[in-house]
Amino acid sequence: MSKDRIYITINHLDNYGGTKGFRVNDELFLKKDTDNPFDDEAVAVYNRHNVKCGYVANSVYSVARGTRSAGRIYDRIKDSQECIVRFITEDSLISELL
């Protein structure tokens, strides 16, 4: 992966139907989840229909190697940040920030 590009891991997809509904090059939108009781740096992921579909990984156990955690990108996100799906695994998406 290029050093100039920023990649993130999107997980918790099982709560929203899993990875089956996603395709490489799908555009997604990131928004800070300021009301999240479990994580002060939670970043929710929404599809183009503004439906929540997961979260940016924020644990050393769930962040894929070479990608950044929600905590590492949290200050970079204002109201909304676009990303694009680049890879799909069994239980997560690897997306590139745009």
**Could you write out the DSSP letters of every residue in 7-31?**
EEEEE-GGGGT-STT--TT-EEEEE
**CATH number for position 39:** 3.30.70.2330
List, in order, residues 6 or more apart from 92 with CB less than 8 Å away.
9, 10, 11, 13, 19, 57, 62, 64
β-bridge mates for residue 82, sequence order = 29
Give the number of domains in the chain.
1
Residue 2, in any domain of the structure: no
List all residues 6 or more positions away from 40 whose beta carbon is below 8 Å from its beta carbon: none
Share of the chain above pLDDT 90, in %: 82
pLDDT 10s digits, 16-31 = 788 998 999 999 999 9
pLDDT at residue 17 in the model: 83
C-alpha 4/C-alpha 26 separation (Å) is 21
Q: What mean pLDDT, rounded, does the chain reach? A: 93
State residue 16's pLDDT score. 79
Does residue 44 belong to any structural domain of this protein?
Answer: yes
Question: Rounded mean pLDDT of 64-78?
Answer: 94
How far from 93 is each of 8, 37, 61, 89, CA to CA, in Å?
A: 8, 24, 15, 6
Determine the structural domain holding residue 85 and report its residue range: 7-97
User: Could you tell me the pTM of the whole model?
Assistant: 0.91
- Residue 27 within any structural domain of the chain: yes
pLDDT at 3 over 90: no
Confidence of residue 1 (pLDDT cuts 50, 70, 90): low
